[in-house]
Structure 1
Amino acid sequence: MASIADLRRPEYTGRNRCWPCTVLNTVVLLGCCLVLAVLSFPLSLGLLLAGAGAIWLRGYLVPRTPALTARMRGALGRGPDRPLTGSIAPDDTDDDLGERTLTTLLEAGVIRPEGERLHLDERFGDDWRGEMERLRTLPTGRLIEATAAATRETEVELLDADRPLVVLTGPDGGEAWVSRPVTIAEVAAEGTLATHVPTMSHRDRIAAARALRSFLDRCPICETRTEEVKPNRCCGGVRDPADLSGTVLVCPTCNEALYRFDDG
């Protein structure tokens, strides 16, 4: 016999509770109780108590509410199902890498300040977009080869799912799972930087490629204009608190996250 602990769904209750879904399920429950009350008040009362208990313990009453809300959000373009984007750039412990990369990009004219904002150089942007267009037309095998060439000493394979993921395995065995749009954007950026800033090291180019994604104004796959959104906190969305911070640059058509800004 199932205990109360077995019925609980902590991923959808407490601090993780999605209140819009809770309200929706409560409205559905009350509607069913009103209809049933016409036939039998005791049964209606029993349904009310059982349903309220289910919503309290599980976060929802209607079966598969989290899956349904995720699908509805995707259909309505309410933000990406995968807000974290991954990167072909390995995690780096060099504290000066970010500042050094920014300085190099500014000195090379790849990005330029205008007032309080940074803007991508038009010529670099055109070449970058051209390289992204070339990469997205490549067969899967050729794209994997291009990614391996850009990352060096990294094994690259494609995880063929509903949305293909590029899996990179480094020399130390560490893995990174990267979406196809992000892979194309970063591989294209690394190659374009090699042409525009030939003195830049490979390590710095890879790091810069990740940062340059913040300048994407169009999706690397479908060229839809990108949008900045807040990650969705619905129970059909992500549950990792780290995924809920910052603003996310997304493609509303592909429903893919392209970059996450740190609002802190």
Structure 2
Amino acid sequence: MGETGGVLTRFKNPEYTGENRCLPCTIVNGLIAAVVSVAVGAALSTSSSVTTGTAIGGGVFLVSVAAIYFRGYLVPGTPELTKRYFPPWLLSLFGKGPAAGTTYDSDLDPEVALQEVGALEPCPEGDDLCLTETFRADWNDEIDRIKAEDVSRERLLDLLDIDEGTVEFEEFGDAFQASVNERVVGKWESEAAFLADLGAANVLADRYRNWEQLPVYEQSQLLNGIRLFIDTCPECGGIPEFGTDTVESCCSTHQVAAVSCTDCDARLFESQPI
């Protein structure tokens, strides 16, 4: 049995099966398989016998299901078709669209709040905002200390006042997210982004009045807001650069605004352009 399973596994396409399986593709191909099987069975029932038509139609369906299971799709090119023709709102129902996620109502304005605690200030030239020198120094010191102590992810959860036992981490390549009771409370594009947030959380906990009383999603808003302004990569010390990138999943392709360090290819911030 084990040997048979190993042989069958070799026929699997890992790009579109297992954790990478595209649910919309599977559903669409499953419907196609059902329609084709019924059509074949009906046609043969008319020209031959009902028993023969039903048997062959059922056989077509089983072969089709096997193809979907092992290859991820029945009709060649289905993943590309879902990217091109499925609207974002439909993909988001399956957690595949760029708009997938949980949205919270909040009156918090991160830029205003971060200026009030001395983390941001108007740039000397231009209308943009920049890190204050004191916050930059404190932030970098915290990141250096965290790296030296090899602090784990659980430390950030402590600062966000989240019970470790209720947290579930999901990995997506270099990126990962934390969920509490199936509600996403934090997303990090890389370990470098996580280090940036952990250092910023330590500094903001000292500067922001009643930090501990803030809802987790508002704390996350502030951490995401300040990370956009980071000017030194926590992982390799390189200079982050702002640009746009195309993010591609099994079912969708969309543009994002991104802050990345080209020295070590660490993604520090990612957001859909408005």
TM-score band, normalised by shorter chain: 0.5 to 0.7
Greater relative contact order (CA < 8 Å, ≥ 6 in sequence):
1
Task: Identify if the C-alpha distance between structure 1 residues 197 and 112 changes in structure 2 by more than 3 Å, giving closer, same or farther.
Answer: same
Q: How does 1:161-240 map to 2 (within 5 A)?
A: 163=174, 167-170=177-180, 172-175=181-184, 178=188, 179-200=190-211, 201-203=213-215, 204-232=218-246, 237-239=248-250
Alpha carbons of structure 1 residues 96 and 167: separation in structure 2 relative to 1, 3 Å: closer
- Secondary structure at the counterpart of residue 244 of structure 1: strand
TM-score, normalised via structure 1 length: 0.56
CA drift at 1:209: 1.0
1:147 to 145, 156, 164: 156
What's the % identity of the aligned pairs?
Answer: 19
2: CA distance between counterparts of 1:111 and 1:177?
22
Distance 1:197 1:95, change over 3 A: closer
Question: 1:133 and 1:15, CA in 2 relative to 1: closer, same or farther beyond 3 A?
Answer: same
1:244 is the counterpart of 2:258: no
Contact 2:246–2:256, Cα closer than 8 Å, also in 1: no
Deviation of 1:15 (Å): 5.6
Unpaired segments ≥5 residues, structure 1: 18-83, 85-89
State the 1:184 CA deviation. 1.3
| 8 Å Cα contact 2:169-2:179 kept in structure 1 | no
User: 2: distance between equivalents of 1:137 and 1:158?
Assistant: 24
Q: Which protein has the larger Cα radius of gyration, Structure 1 or Structure 2?
A: 2
* CA shift digits 1:151-190 (9 cap, x unpaired): 2224357778974x655231x2334553322221112111
Q: Distance in 2 between matches of 1:192 and 1:185?
A: 11
Residue 211 to residue 239, structure 1, CA distance change in 2 (3 Å): farther
AA aligned to 1:256 is A
Displacement of 1:148 in angstroms is 2.1
Does residue 130 (structure 1) correspond to residue 145 (structure 2)? The answer is no
Task: Tell me the TM-score normalized by structure 2.
Answer: 0.54
Aligned residues: 183
- The one-letter code matched in structure 2 to 1:10 is T
1:121 equivalenced with 2:132 (yes/no): yes
Matches of 2:153 and 2:179, distance apart in 1:
13
Cα distance, 1:146 vs. partner?
1.2
Separation of aligned partners in 1, 2:260 and 2:227? 11
Choose 111-120 or 194-203, whichever is displaced more: 194-203
Q: Which amino acid in 2 is paired with 1:188?
A: G
1:38-77 aligned within 5 A = none
- In the TM superposition, residue 250 of structure 1 has moved relative to its aligned partner by 1.1
Q: Matched residues in 1 for 2:225 and 2:104: separation?
A: 16
CA distance in 1: counterparts of 2:271 and 2:142, whole angstroms: 24
Instruction: Measure the CA separation in 2 of the matches of 1:252 and 1:132.
Output: 19
Is the alpha carbon distance of 1:244 and 1:92 closer, same or farther for their aligned partners in structure 2, counting shifts above 3 Å?
A: closer
Structure 1 position 103 matched with structure 2 position 103: no
Q: Quick one: structure 1 residues 124 and 183, their matched pair in 2 at CA, closer, same or farther if it must change by over 3 Å?
A: same
Looking at structure 2, the residues matched to 113 and 240 of structure 1 have their Cα atoms a distance apart, in angstroms, of 41
Offset at residue 121 of structure 1 (A): 0.5
Instruction: Please say if residues 259 and 269 of structure 2, whose CA atoms lie closer than 8 Å, have aligned partners that are also in contact.
Output: yes
